[in-house]
Amino acid sequence: MSRVRALIFDVDGTLADTERDGHRVAFNMAFSEAGLGWEWSVELYGELLAVTGGKERIRFYLDKYNTGFRRPGNFNEFVAGLHAAKTTFYTRLLSNGEIPLRPGVERLLREAMEQGIRLAIATTTTPENVSALLNYALNPSAMDWFEVIGAGDVVPAKKPAPDIYHYVLEAMNLAPEECVAFEDSRNGILSAREARLATIVTVNDYTREHDFADAAIVLDQLGEPDRPFKVLQGDARGHDLVDLAMIRALVEQSMNR
Ligand code: XBP
Ligand code: MG
């Protein structure tokens, strides 16, 4: 009998490819509106993704890539204000419906709900961003599909710290052995594995070369019936899309290791 009771999803890069054409663009819009003259290129943004959290990323950028910037006296407020503007631009971009869910995501969520498997989210992104993505890329009631949404500043230490997964597990009153996490990045898998969760990774252009040594499996995407996944690392046990049968097989395999 399977022990999988819940699936816990990261958001950015996992549910949808949000970083390059979503978050990055919204940061640039906020910088432009503030008259700062900062422009985060696709390449630079890949480096900035080393740090999770938008406010943290702005600070990292100034510490490492724009050290000449004269910081205003109210620096914390300045960063928070820029970030709030970025959130407004980002949710507006999502409302245009330009960023779809990744292949297999909706299929797997629906299968899980049909089988009584509980769903949750563990992300470093701002809560408004999660609701906007679910609303516009899935449907307006999709927020209710998730029993717990752990997001943003609800825990002080963002990924790669395990805190957000601990928060979600505690809120659901589940042990890590009863859950499977879905991630797309090195920081994500470090966080999930530190919380002792079996983790399925689907990579994207920013994360393809990351080290996922500790993943249950690494795939190009979750797969659809007409679009099987490609296995980048691990053993898919004869499956070609991620469904609950495959997840249970993976979990049993990792228990027997
Ligand atoms: C996502 C992040 C976030 C987003 C921006 O990480 O690192 O910072 O890029 O969101 P994960 P905010 O995929 O682990 O959730 O600007 O709202 O922080
Ligand atoms: Mg992610």
What pLDDT score was predicted for residue 98? 85
What pLDDT score was predicted for residue 253? 75
Whether the CB-CB separation of 168 and 148 falls below 8 Å is answered with yes
* CA 146 to each of CA 78, 172, 201: distance values in angstroms, whole numbers, following the listed order: 33, 11, 20
What pLDDT score was predicted for residue 164? 98
For ligand 1, atom 8, which residue shows the shortest CA distance? 53
Report whether pLDDT(137) > 90.
Answer: yes
CA of 196 to the centre of ligand 1 (A): 22
Report whether pLDDT(1) > 80.
Answer: no
Percentage of the chain surpassing pLDDT 90? 95
Mean pLDDT score, 187-195: 98
**Token pair of 92 as six digits:** 């507006």
**Token pair of 173 as six digits:** 């009153």
Report whether pLDDT(245) > 60.
Answer: yes
What is the end-to-end Cα distance of the chain in Å, rounded?
Answer: 18
123 contact partners, CB below 8 Å, separation of at least 6 = 10, 11, 12, 130, 150, 151, 152, 164
Report whether pLDDT(2) > 90.
Answer: no
What pLDDT score was predicted for residue 166? 98
- Full DSSP string of 218-244: EESS--BTTB---EEES--TT-SS--H
Report whether pLDDT(99) > 60.
Answer: yes
Active site residue 226: no
Compute the distance between CA of residue 228 and CA of residue 238 in angstroms, rounded to an integer.
11
- Residues 210-224 have pLDDT tens digits of 999 999 999 999 999
Ligand 1 site residues, Cβ closer than 6 angstroms: 10-13, 19, 23, 52-54, 57, 123-126, 129, 159, 188
Compute the distance between CA of residue 114 and CA of residue 106 in angstroms, rounded to an integer.
12
Mean pLDDT score, 181-207: 98
Whether the CB-CB separation of 133 and 175 falls below 8 Å is answered with no
Active site residue 243: no
The DSSP symbol for 126 reads -
- Residues 55-85 have pLDDT tens digits of 999 999 999 999 999 999 999 999 999 999 9
Q: What is the pTM of this model?
A: 0.96
Q: What count of other Cβ atoms lies within 10 Å of the Cβ of residue 245? A: 13
What pLDDT score was predicted for residue 255? 63
What pLDDT score was predicted for residue 115? 97
Closest ligand 1 atom to residue 129 Cα is: 17
Which of 143-147, 177-181, 201-205, 253-257 is predicted least confidently?
253-257
Report whether pLDDT(108) > 80.
Answer: yes
Compute the distance between CA of residue 186 and CA of residue 193 in angstroms, rounded to an integer.
10
CA of 16 to the centre of ligand 2 (A): 9
What pLDDT score was predicted for residue 252? 83
CA of 153 to the centre of ligand 2 (A): 16
Model confidence band, residue 256 (pLDDT cutoffs 50, 70, 90): low
Model confidence band, residue 257 (pLDDT cutoffs 50, 70, 90): low
Q: Which segments of 21-178 does DSSP mark as H helices, in order?
A: 24-33, 42-48, 54-64, 75-95, 105-114, 127-133, 163-172
